[in-house]
Amino acid sequence: MALRVCFALLALVYLLLGSSSSFGQTSPAKPDTGASLTRSETVEVVAEPVPAETLSGTHTALDRHAIQQSNAHDAAELLRMAGVVHLSQAGTKGALSTVSLRAAKPNFTLVLVDGVPVNDIGDLLGGAFNFATIDADEIENIDILRGPLSSVYGSEAVGGVISITLRSPSVGPSWRASSEGGNFGAAASSAGASFERKKVSGSIDGGFARMGQQVLDDGFLRGMAAVQGAVELDRGKRLDSFLRWNRLSSTGFPVSSGGPEFALSRAVEIDQADQIVSGAKFQQQVNPRWFYTADYDLFSRVALNDTPAIFDTIPPGASYVPSTHSDSRFLRQRGLNVQRFQPTQWIELDSVASFRDEKGSSVGTIAEVLPASYALSRPTGFFSGNMTVNKKSLSATAGFGVERSNTYHTVISPRVGASYFFGETRLRASWGQGFKLPSFYSLGSPLVGNPALTPEFSTGFDAAIEHRFAPARLSVVLTGFNNSYRDLIDFSPALFRLVNRDAAFGRGGELEANGAIHRVTLGGSASYLDAGLEGTSERLRDVPRWSEDLHLHAPLSSRMQLGLATVWVGRRFDYQVPVPQRNTVGAYSVTNLKLTCRLRENFEGHVGVENLFDRKYQEFVGFPSPGSYVSAGLAFTTGERKKAAH
Query: pLDDT tens for residues 333-378?
Result: 999 999 999 999 999 999 999 999 999 999 999 999 888 889 999 9
- Would you place residue 172 in the very low, low, confident or very high pLDDT band (cuts 50, 70, 90)? low
13 band by pLDDT with thresholds 50, 70 and 90: very low
Does residue 643 fall inside a structural domain? no
Quote the pLDDT of residue 494: 77
Q: Is residue 157 part of a domain?
A: yes
Q: 36: pLDDT confidence band, cut at 50, 70 and 90?
A: very low
* pLDDT given at position 53: 53
> What mean pLDDT value characterizes the chain?
86
Which of the pair, 558 or 57, is modelled with greater confidence? 558
Report if residue 423 sits inside a domain. Answer: yes
CATH number of 195's domain: 2.40.170.20
Q: Please tell me the distance from the alpha carbon of residue 317 to that of residue 492, in angstroms, as a whole number.
A: 18
Domain membership flag for residue 645: no
Question: How far apart (Å, rounded) are the C-alpha atoms in residues 378 and 428?
Answer: 38
Query: What's the mean pLDDT in 57-81?
Result: 86
pLDDT at position 371 is 83
pLDDT on residue 27: 30
The residues, ordered by sequence, that sit 6+ positions from 336 with a Cβ below 8 Å of its Cβ are 47, 48, 293, 294, 295, 296, 297, 352, 353, 354
Domain that includes residue 116, residue range: 2-638
What pLDDT, on the 0 to 100 scale, is given for residue 381? Answer: 96
Q: Place 11 in a pLDDT band, splitting at 50, 70 and 90.
A: very low
CA gap 523, 183 in Å, rounded: 30
Q: Residue 109 in contact with residue 162, Cβ under 8 Å?
A: yes
What pLDDT was estimated at residue 32?
Answer: 30
At 305, is the pLDDT very low, low, confident or very high (cuts 50, 70, 90)?
very high
Average pLDDT over residues 428-439: 93
Task: Give me the mean pLDDT over the 485-491 stretch.
Answer: 90
Between CA 607 and CA 267 the distance in angstroms is 35
Contacts of 478 (CB under 8 A, 6+ apart): 464, 465, 466, 509, 510, 511
**pLDDT tens-digit map of 209-231:** 999 999 999 999 999 999 999 99
Structural domains counted in the chain: 1
Does any domain span residue 117?
Answer: yes
Calculate the CA 22 to chain-centre distance: 37
Q: For the whole model, what pTM was predicted?
A: 0.90
CA distance 333 to 300: 9
CA distance linking residue 460 with residue 485, whole number of Å: 9
Per the domain annotation, does 602 fall within a domain?
yes
The answer to whether residue 51 sits within a structural domain is yes
Beta-carbon contacts of residue 289 (< 8 Å; ≥ 6 apart): 341, 342, 343
pLDDT at 9 exceeding the cut of 50: no
pLDDT > 80? residue 64: yes
Residue 594 confidence (pLDDT) above 90: yes
Q: Is residue 644 part of a domain?
A: no
